[in-house]
């Protein structure tokens, strides 16, 4: 089965998606800094298993629309995009699966639109209900005497000026830094997710061979996407976290009640930082069907595709 590409009018603009297979709809949502292509190893497996696998380019990425207004990347808009995609595909409901930022988008899609998303799979970044401290303040504390990467991404143009002169080189370092077989690790003297005053993220990336999951051809694809689009659309997701905190205040502490699945990496900083969120799953994901930690880093569906495919298929088959 070949991958078919299309552009849909959905939400406030266009959404590009790649589709493979037929059957119950499974919507796949990527994270930062990636694209629909991050699901290239899941789509054929899901299609073979009897599902309609649809991987989209999130707003701001690839061939999807890239609004100029940074506020157009708030969570409410991204959820609306996902609902509109399901409707535009002629379906009334779907299972939504997300990785990294896509995991957070998928979780909030299930929370805000339970009539559309009947189940949710969460990869790498655990579900944290809305509420708690203001994100900008919390991330500022995480940096300690230095600047945490989320804070570093806040000022428009700042991260872009580091990344865009050499997109391919920066992506190589970022992917390497969070891969299980090449990562610097959270206990390294110069972890990649914090910067010195006046410094850059890139100066702390580990060097050496590409991660085992990433080929030169894969890297060429990712680099070409961002060389064409720039990084502003992708980075604008980070620039809406306080807006999301305000928008989602009515849902503070809310659980996701649909069937859910979590798969994380044992060597992923996300699962280490948010271990309390995983511990809270009996309350925040009361219909969790499985919580799994694989021996890998952050790019879980690319680092461990066979294991992830098996877990996704088991989850879907048992719905």
Q: Which residues are catalytic?
A: 100, 298
Cα dist from 196 to 37, 147, 169, 190, whole Å: 33, 7, 20, 10
């Amino acid at each position: 089965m070949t991958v078919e590409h299309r552009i849909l009018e959905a939400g406030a603009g266009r959404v590009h998606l790649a589709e493979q297979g037929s059957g119950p709809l499974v919507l796949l949502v990527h994270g930062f800094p990636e694209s629909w292509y991050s699901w290239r190893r899941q789509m054929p497996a899901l299609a073979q298993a009897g599902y309609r696998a649809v991987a989209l380019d999130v707003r701001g990425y690839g061939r999807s629309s890239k609004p100029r207004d940074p506020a157009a990347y708030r969570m409410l808009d991204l959820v609306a995009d996902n609902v509109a995609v399901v409707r535009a595909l002629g379906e009334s409901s779907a299972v939504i699966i997300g990785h990294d930022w896509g995991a957070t988008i998928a979780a909030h899609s299930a929370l805000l639109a339970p009539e559309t998303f009947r189940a949710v799979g969460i990869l790498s970044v655990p579900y944290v209900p809305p509420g708690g401290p203001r994100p900008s303040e919390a991330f500022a504390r995480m940096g300690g005497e230095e600047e945490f990467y989320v804070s570093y991404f806040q000022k428009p143009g700042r991260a872009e000026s580091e990344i865009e002169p050499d997109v391919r080189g920066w992506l190589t370092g970022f992917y390497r830094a969070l891969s299980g077989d090449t990562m610097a690790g959270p206990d390294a003297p110069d972890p990649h997710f914090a910067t010195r005053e006046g410094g850059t993220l890139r100066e702390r990336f580990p060097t050496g061979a590409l991660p085992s999951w990433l080929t030169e051809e894969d890297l060429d694809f990712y680099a070409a996407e961002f060389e064409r689009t720039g990084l502003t659309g992708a980075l604008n997701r980070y620039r809406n976290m306080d807006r999301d905190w305000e928008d989602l205040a009515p849902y503070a502490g809310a659980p996701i009640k649909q069937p859910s699945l979590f798969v994380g990496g044992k060597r992923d900083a996300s699962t280490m930082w948010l271990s309390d969120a995983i511990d809270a799953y009996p309350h925040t994901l009361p219909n969790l069907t499985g919580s799994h930690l694989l021996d890998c880093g952050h790019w879980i569906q690319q680092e461990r595709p066979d294991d992830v495919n098996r877990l996704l298929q088991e989850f879907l088959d048992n719905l």
